[in-house]
Amino acid sequence: MATRVKAALIILLYGKISKLTSYIIKSSEFGKITNLLASDLGVFEIKFSIFLNGLNFPITMIGVTIILVLRIGWPGVIGILIVLLVVPIASAISKNNSSLIK
């Protein structure tokens, strides 16, 4: 989906540029502008993918928890809770390490 949004924005960008006169194109630096927008759209694509995955995460966790409860029972929920508790601890450790590396 992020790639489709990026492609649509690129089509809009080049559509706008194609409607400009040759005098305007020669007098300004459209190559630089196009290059900057293309790199910005690449960053947008990555961030949009992360955003969509973030929206999908709670649904996936609920589904996995239900499957674990049905297959294993309540020890599956304990396993999910342990994983969810380890994530903030790992984040804190990585922040500590990054300050040490700097």
97 inside domain? no
Looking at residue 20, the DSSP 8-state letter turns out to be S
Q: Residue 2 is part of which domain span?
A: 1-56
pLDDT digits (tens, 9 = 90+) for 60-88: 888 988 888 899 888 888 888 898 899 89
Q: Give the global pTM.
A: 0.49
In the block, tokens 């502008």 appear at 33
pLDDT digits (tens, 9 = 90+) for 17-37: 777 767 666 666 667 767 777
Distances (CA, A) of 50 to 1, 5, 11, 71: 11, 14, 23, 30
63 inside domain? no
CB atoms within 10 A of CB 48: 16
Question: Total domain count for the chain?
Answer: 1
31 inside domain? yes
What's residue 89's pLDDT? 92
